[in-house]
Amino acid sequence: MVNPAIEGKRYPRTSPYLVGREKLIEFANATMATDSNGETAPPTFPIVIQERSLKQVLTDPESQLDFSRVVHGDQRFVFERAIVAGDELTSELSVASVKSLGGNHLVTFNTEIFDATNKLVCTAISTLVVRGEDA
């Protein structure tokens, strides 16, 4: 179950996350990204930042989102520029849509990721499928 009333809800901006060279290397190794040089983030690295915003939804009693019933549906990134070592990033998540389909709920999130000058770096778009009671 997901509370459909959270559609359109915007969560507070996260505290800054400093993108360290070692974090980029760890992420590249964990995801087998062979093109990472430790200076530029692999293309899927924004998930690290988005996850910080997603925690706010998962701990929000209003959302009624049961993470034990979640499977990942979709993930996309729209870049304004590459993420690089030394970036200090914050994120702000909004619930783009909550839909019911066949007893399941599809929840789409847009997470805008900003640099220290408040310029948009990337938008992470993800959809979670929250399985219904009978799924």
* Residues written for the chain: 135
pLDDT of residue 96: 98
Query: What is the set of domains in the chain, with CATH numbers?
Result: 4-130 (3.10.129.10)
pLDDT of residue 134: 65
DSSP 3-state assignment of 58? helix
Q: Tell whether pTM > 0.95.
A: no
pLDDT of residue 135: 52
Using alpha carbons, select from 101, 97, 122, 126 the residue that is nearest to residue 112.
122
